[in-house]
Amino acid sequence: AQKVTQAQTEISVVEKEDVTLDCVYETRDTTYYLFWYKQPPSGELVFLIRRNSFDEQNEISGRYSWNFQKSTSSFNFTITASQVVDSAVYFCALSEAGYSTLTFGKGTMLLVSP
Amino acid sequence: EAGVVQSPRYKIIEKKQPVAFWCNPISGHNTLYWYLQNLGQGPELLIRYENEEAVDDSQLPKDRFSAERLKGVDSTLKIQPAELGDSAVYLCASSLDGYTEAFFGQGTRLTVV
């Protein structure tokens, strides 16, 4: 069975601070995919990134960066110089090879204040 | 390009009444999903379609929930009769196929009173 744990329920930061959202996963498969989605107050889940289990290279996209470590089964997400518009609930998710169905964590609510 | 479209955005019904939600996936996407999101939780899969075939409906409460995807495009999710515990957000998503990332609609927030 697969499982995604986001231990941080809520994080509050002041604008321009860096913030890291933690994600730990469990799966028996050797091939799997990891995702991050953002859910703003409007409710729509916005796709941010998809990584496969064979690609452990860290990725940077603007102010966003992701750190994937198979040794610790973690896929952490860092926002550099946070902005008020980053305020949202962020979900980490996992899918096993050959199946696109996602198993989500419970999400981390990020509040960025001016 | 239009995203996943869901309607209605909000629905309030009395318990024991029927309710239906509609989803129009992104054009060309063969895989369609219905997820249930309870307050403070991550989404959980209800049903997944590959074209018009339901390939994973193991989490769909079949005594009161039903879904269809006629012609492999639009989909409808129905609850009959609704219960208080069905109050949640119902999310529809689509992907190009069963191996690519899913894109979500804005969801339908159901309140059962």
At residue A99, the pLDDT reads 66
Q: Give yes or no for a contact between B43 and B91, defined as CB atoms under 8 angstroms apart.
A: yes
B52 vs chain A: nearest CA distance in angstroms? Answer: 16
Exposure string (b/e) for A24-53, b if CB count within 10 Å is 16 or more?
A: bbebeeeebbbbbbbbeeebbbebbbebeb
Contact B99 A37 (CB under 8 A): no
User: A102 near A95, Cβ under 8 Å?
Assistant: yes
Within 8 A of A38 by CB-CB distance, chain B residues are none
pLDDT, mean over chain B: 94
Length of chain A: 114
With CA atoms as reference, the chain B residue closest to A42 would be B106
SS (H, E, C) B25-63: CCCCCCEEEEEEECCCCCCEEEEEEECCEEEECCCCCCC
pLDDT digits 0-9 by tens, A18-32: 999 999 999 998 899
Q: State the pLDDT at residue A98.
A: 63
- B99 pLDDT band (50/70/90 cuts)? confident
Nearest residue of chain B to residue A92 (CA atoms) = B42
Whether B48 has its CB under 8 Å from any CB of chain A: the answer is yes
Give me the residues paired with residue A95 across strands. A33
> pLDDT by residue for chain A (114 residues), tens digit each?
789 999 999 999 999 999 999 999 999 988 999 999 999 988 889 999 988 898 888 888 899 999 999 999 999 999 999 999 999 999 999 998 666 789 999 999 999 999
Question: Please, which residues have CB within 8 angstroms of residue B102's CB and are 6 or more apart in sequence?
Answer: A47, A100, A102, B31, B33, B93, B94, B95
Q: Are A106 and A6 in contact (CB under 8 A)?
A: yes
Higher pLDDT pick, B13 / B99: B13
Between CA A14 and CA A86 the distance in angstroms is 11
**With contacts defined as CB-CB under 8 Å, which chain A residues touch B109?**
43
Q: What is the pLDDT of residue B32?
A: 95
Q: Which two tokens stand for residue A25?
A: 């996963």
Tokens at B110, concatenated: 């159901």
pLDDT tens profile B28-59:
999 999 999 999 999 999 999 999 999 889 89
Cα atoms found within 13 Å of the Cα of residue A50, Cβ hemisphere only: 14
Would you call A43 and B93 a contact, using CB atoms and an 8 Å cutoff? no
